[in-house]
Amino acid sequence: MFKYDVIVVGAGHAGCEAALACSKLGAKTLLASLNLDNIALMPCNPAIGGPAKSCLVREIDALGGVMGIAADATYMQLKTLNSSKGPAVRALRAQSDKKEYMRFMRQLLEKEKNLSLKQCTMTELIVYNNCVAGLKDEFGLEYKAPCVILTTGTSLEARIWVGLQYLEFGRLGEASAKGLSPSLKKLGFNIGRLKTGTPARVDSRTIDFSKMLIQPGDENPSFFSFLPDRPVREQYPCYLTRTTEKTHEIIRNNLDKSPMYSGLIHGIGPRYCPSIEDKVVRFAHNPSHHIFIEPEGKNTYEMYVQGFSTSLPASVQIQMLQSLPGLEKVHVMKPAYAVEYDYMPAVQLYHSLMTKNIKGLFCAGQINGTSGYEEAAAQGLIAGINAVNFLQNKEMIVLSRESSYIGTLIDDLVTKDIDEPYRMLTSRSEYRLLLRQDNADERLTKLGYESGLISEERYKMFLEKQKTIDEEIIRLKTEKISPSEKVNSILAKYNEYIDRGMKLAELIKRPNITYEILKETDKKTKNLNLTKDIYEQVEVKIKYDGYIKRQIQQVNMSGKLEKIKIPENIDYSKIKHISTETRDKLAKIRPVTLGQAARIGGVKPADISVLMVMIESHQISL
């Protein structure tokens, strides 16, 4: 028998963050993986970040997680998307070296003295009196622990489809995880079925890149981690091609060979990451679709065909790929496939990510119905912190929607009935101007420090940075710039002009003026030589001051419902003044606050008002 404080099942991005958090916080931790050679594998695109997802990575970093550090250490390209748009939608994206990322993450895991790695398939949960007690593996070995975190990804009872053929794999070359899903069902958990997929991989030596548009990285890149001294690496380009009418014709002629269109796959796929056949059918009016060719690593010829996910037969895939400009003679190294797998709808969890039925059992990542490395890592980190809090009888960390995208992600998962893979989008947050990638450290570093994952040294660096930001904002609001021939000649390049003296902050509020331009016109600003991550926050805080204040007011107004707690053991069937649908929904999800209750699909505003009156008048007691 083997004894641990925490057992983490699955070594993907959720599992790595969970295991590292637990071990760093002093818990004796076991990280179990189907294959130790696939730790932190990126089975789809080896890329980190993008819209909304970059905020998750920055938040993970601010809380003391490692995804941002790993991405900065292993990138092949860094690019800020939506750079010409507002700060709420700007997003950093890294194309990572797949193998380097995996090696980097495994080294972090193996350095932790409280952490052990184990290659095995956990097949059964051990539970006594509704409390988790450990697990059994495929060989009958027992592993005891009062806390278990399931981060099983797409492995549970999984099968992959290529055309009308399927294999019992969770991903190509790795066996499906058998046993754990039936064990969860026996314990009374509801288990559903989802579907995702990945494109083919192709040989770069067989591609004519002259027929494509080059997509370079940023000359002066930003980074994910807020730590200093981040590595500057050589960047590699990505390439853009497009589908053709011939591509669409091949797809339309072979839809009967698709397991999705033939009804063989029953799991629901991600709406925001459709297969190429879905795009062709759903957007028949569109004559072409963007396809990006991206490197998998600097020491391999293997390239990723982004935007070309499919489950059509391998022979058809070759025809489709060779219809793309530049890929007429392409060699396919790995076929695309769809994967169908079991998941556990997260309405069965608390915001802490512990299950409602079994104490000490946590779930994080794709088992909760999400899609994406960043979403998984964020959940893994929170589950890891809360697992240790559970062991130490401490209060669980629950991030609010207004505090973070992580809070928004978890609240959506545990509150709403998710029936398709959930992907983080900026539109999912009602507070996205407050939840920017540039200020994630301001929002969450203190919590990371209090949790024990942010060191004293790093916290002092953070406080010094915030002090510098505050001092610079005060300076810009105090010091003036006067009109002169030299100043206006510089401003003219940006279609601006001043005819009177004004505060520097007033000038930077103009749409065409940035902090970089301000350095051209004001010598003191230039000589301060502030780093990019500092002056970005200064500029946003000044330029969008009015919008930010209005959103803070919105947070304060909506906060009333979040402060009203709902009794834990309330019997909704006995409340006669609310609708039957609302009673059923509330009984299923058991929200903690009226704010959470109001966000449940199908719950009527009038019923929330009734509950509020009953709680405030003590007809329902806490």
Residue-wise pLDDT tens digits, 101-160: 999 999 999 999 999 999 999 999 999 999 999 999 999 999 999 999 999 999 999 999
Q: What integer pLDDT is reported at residue 411 of this predicted model?
A: 95
Compute and round to an integer the Cα radius of gyration of the chain.
26
Q: Which residues pair with 593 in a beta bridge?
A: 565
Question: What is the distance between the alpha carbons of residues 591 and 608, in angstroms, rounded to a whole number?
Answer: 12
| Look-up of token digits 């956990």 | 122
What is the band of 610 on the pLDDT scale with cuts at 50, 70, 90?
A: confident
Q: Is 193 helix (H, G, I), strand (E, B) or coil?
A: strand
Alpha carbon of 312 to those of 280, 316, 338: distances in Å? 13, 6, 9
Please give the full DSSP string across 53-71, using - where no structure is assigned. HHHHHHHHHHHT-SHHHHH
Q: What integer pLDDT is reported at residue 95 of this predicted model?
A: 97
Q: What integer pLDDT is reported at residue 602 of this predicted model?
A: 78
Question: What is the distance between the alpha carbons of residues 496 and 507, in angstroms, rounded to a whole number?
Answer: 10
Q: Which two tokens stand for residue 48?
A: 């980190």
pLDDT above 90 (res 552): no
Helices in 416-455 by DSSP H: which ranges?
440-451
For the chain, percent helix, then strand, then coil, each to nearest 5?
40, 20, 40
- In the chain, where the domains are located: 201-339, 456-548, 564-616
The answer regarding whether domain 456-548 maps to CATH 1.20.1070.10 reads: no
pLDDT above 90 (res 460): yes
Q: What integer pLDDT is reported at residue 1 of this predicted model?
A: 66
Question: What is the distance between the alpha carbons of residues 3 and 142, in angstroms, rounded to a whole number?
Answer: 9
Q: Which two tokens stand for residue 361?
A: 């059992």
Question: What is the distance between the alpha carbons of residues 70 and 67, in angstroms, rounded to a whole number?
Answer: 5
Question: What is the distance between the alpha carbons of residues 315 and 254, in angstroms, rounded to a whole number?
Answer: 11
Q: Which two tokens stand for residue 104?
A: 């980097």
pLDDT above 80 (res 263): no
What would the mean pLDDT of 338-357 be, rounded to a whole number? 96
User: Do 456-548 and 564-616 have matching folds?
Assistant: no
The share of the chain scoring above pLDDT 70, in percent, equals 99
What is the band of 587 on the pLDDT scale with cuts at 50, 70, 90?
A: confident
End-to-end CA distance of the chain: 43
CA atoms within 13 A on the CB side of 40: 28
Q: What integer pLDDT is reported at residue 563 of this predicted model?
A: 84
CB neighbour class for 519 (10 Å; exposed up to 12, middle 13-18, buried from 19): middle
Handedness of CA 208, 294, 160, 136 (dihedral sign): positive
Alpha carbon of 396 to those of 26, 64, 337, 503, 579: distances in Å? 17, 16, 39, 46, 32
Q: Is 91 helix (H, G, I), strand (E, B) or coil?
A: strand
pLDDT in tens, 495-518: 999 999 999 999 999 989 999 999
Second CATH level (architecture) for the domain 201-339? Beta Barrel (2.40)
What would the mean pLDDT of 583-612 be, rounded to a whole number? 84
Question: What is the distance between the alpha carbons of residues 566 and 161, in angstroms, rounded to a whole number?
Answer: 45
pLDDT in tens, 329-339: 999 999 999 99
Alpha carbon of 214 to those of 36, 217, 236, 438: distances in Å? 36, 10, 10, 28
Q: What integer pLDDT is reported at residue 621 of this predicted model?
A: 54
pTM score: 0.93
What would the mean pLDDT of 388-414 be, rounded to a whole number? 96
Q: Is 296 helix (H, G, I), strand (E, B) or coil?
A: coil
Name every residue whose Cβ is closer than 8 Å to that of residue 133 and which is 6 or more positions away in sequence.
Answer: 126, 127, 144, 145, 146
pLDDT above 90 (res 603): no
CA atoms within 13 A on the CB side of 530: 26
Q: What integer pLDDT is reported at residue 258 of this predicted model?
A: 87
Q: What integer pLDDT is reported at residue 586 of this predicted model?
A: 87
564-616: what fold?
Answer: DNA polymerase; domain 1 (1.10.150)
Separation of CA 398 from chain center: 17
pLDDT in tens, 71-94: 999 999 999 998 888 888 899 999
pLDDT above 90 (res 363): yes
The share of the chain scoring above pLDDT 90, in percent, equals 73
Handedness of CA 425, 426, 431, 437 (dihedral sign): positive
pLDDT above 50 (res 622): no
Question: What is the distance between the alpha carbons of residues 514 and 516, in angstroms, rounded to a whole number?
Answer: 5
| Look-up of token digits 């593996």 | 137
More confident residue, 112 or 532: 112
Which of 7-16, 289-298, 361-370, 418-427 has the least mean pLDDT?
Answer: 418-427
Please give the full DSSP string across 80-122, using - where no structure is assigned. EETTTS-TTT-EEEEEE-HHHHHHHHHHHHHH-TTEEEEE--E
The residue count of the chain comes to: 622
Mean pLDDT of the chain: 92
